[in-house]
Structure 1
């Protein structure tokens, strides 16, 4: 299995089209997942859903690790995996899911994907990655696109509960950015499936603890819809996508990888419009175009730093 993984990595290093195909697949799945994350709140509490979601993802990944006859990580990596799990899984999704109680699904995805800005700043500081003019301009245009999508209502006339939810999601974005840099520094050399399996397991334990203390007696409605939401987000949007995400982070520079995730809010807003009738305003369309332009400038006008 390790030989096959190395061969696949070598193919990705030589073929940017396949790598971009993976990035596009991940962003589409994450964009669609935002709709399910919002809709599932009608059936259970946000922390309970997160526990089901990442518990499912952890079980799937651990089964894959077991079937491939991989052992548990060496003890010297447990501390790092626990920290990564808390940053990447516990904090990000506890804060995001609670914030979704107050903020629309589309705008929530926009706020979380301020992550590239924080990742770029941290990468320049701790990874010594140079923020080229093209990447800086692309990132700036992308962030302007996010602000355009959010519109003036984020600055004026906001209910205090909505502001609270938005702040939680921004904190989640910062935590995700920190986890990206921490992974690159501490765990990049480890196998991707095992890394994601154990960080998700430890992160899920943190979510379960929070769920026990806050939603122990809350009603849970398990039906065809809610089970589908759990399975899709747990297996595809979590187990699969975050494994691919760690692979992408290990192959290209931080700025390139994270700027690409600005596509997620576009897909999130598109699916929100198509599935749950959230409005696609002129600001949303204009902001989406700016994000795409920003990504093109950052990628087309500069060479990928493929590792």
Structure 2
């Protein structure tokens, strides 16, 4: 285990020496994640949402496990397996089963905004389980962000939106809550594990959960492995899932959580942009107002932390 930690430290030290490389990496990651929302939406033309998730994360897990094997990292200690299973269920199974099902009814751009309300939920759970204080600025930011969520959902209700759309939006918000819980659980139980190893095995266990759900719910449903659908699976599995999530864990060890949280705001922005350019989705008044409030809320809740002393 000590050798694995040393490998992590070597990689982190290389990134730390080149700040421009860190920020370029963050930009590339958020662009890939934003573009992935479009591919996730398009994949529903070829297969069910759970089937796509099973293919995507199976590819992602195999990619990471191959890298772990080449790096000679081995299998995590048995004491960590329980925590990896829980993290895999929270961060991979629950989040992406809910997101993919919600995407059947919700536009890709709006879905990305709702899921990336995650920092709001992370702040609440961190206050309870990590002992982080909810400052007046953070409380104000949370209230503004919640108002943004209600604006998106409430606007749809008032304009007579289809009930399936509202259900889809609610499922994606539940996915954001699960992601927030997963972030706190990782900090509590798995912070000291090698990033690549923890990412690979949590994704493996999460993928098993997705496959089980797929077999029960979508067995026998139409499946088309077309050139396009294979591209969607490979891109989201290898790049958006395996590589990006692993590199992101390394980034979190270099920059502070405030900066990391603000950086995730680029994802829904790119998601909305790509959805507009590729899918032709329109920006309604409710989406625009709600998205703006969520982004303002997260900024208000997080930026003020820079003025507080570091522990």
TM over 0.5: yes
Q: Which runs of 4+ in 1 moved over 6 A?
A: 304-307
2:100 is the counterpart of 1:128: no
Residue 25 to residue 299, structure 1, CA distance change in 2 (3 Å): farther
2:76 is the counterpart of 1:59: no
Which has the larger displacement, 273-282 or 137-146? 137-146
TM-superposed CA distance for 1:26, in Å, is 2.2
Aligned to 1:86: 89
TM-superposed CA distance for 1:260, in Å, is 3.1
Structure 1 residue aligned with 2:240, among 224, 237, 241? 237
Secondary structure (helix, strand or coil) at the match of 2:105 reads coil
Q: Distance in 1 between matches of 2:120 and 2:299?
A: 16
Q: Distance in 2 between matches of 1:197 and 1:122?
A: 25
Residue 105 to residue 259, structure 1, CA distance change in 2 (3 Å): same
2:270 is the counterpart of 1:267: yes
Number of equivalenced pairs: 307
TM-score, length-normalised on structure 2? 0.87
Unmatched runs of 5 consecutive residues or more in structure 2: none
Aligned to 1:279: 282
Aligned to 1:77: 80
Unmatched runs of 5 consecutive residues or more in structure 1: none
Aligned to 2:39: 36
Residue 255 to residue 157, structure 1, CA distance change in 2 (3 Å): farther
Residue 114 to residue 272, structure 1, CA distance change in 2 (3 Å): same
Structure 1 residue aligned with 2:201, among 198, 203, 206? 198
Q: Distance in 1 between matches of 2:18 and 2:294?
A: 24
The 8 Å contact of residues 127 and 181 in structure 1, kept in 2 or not, is answered as: yes
TM-score, length-normalised on structure 1? 0.88
Cα deviation per residue 1:151-201 (whole Å; 9 max; x = unaligned)? 712555122211221121111111110000000000011111111100000
TM-superposed CA distance for 1:95, in Å, is 0.8
Structure 1 residue aligned with 2:219, among 189, 210, 216? 216
Aligned to 1:8: 11
TM-superposed CA distance for 1:306, in Å, is 8.5
Residue 163 to residue 24, structure 1, CA distance change in 2 (3 Å): same
Aligned to 1:168: 171
Structure 1 residue aligned with 2:48, among 34, 45, 48? 45
2:167 is the counterpart of 1:189: no
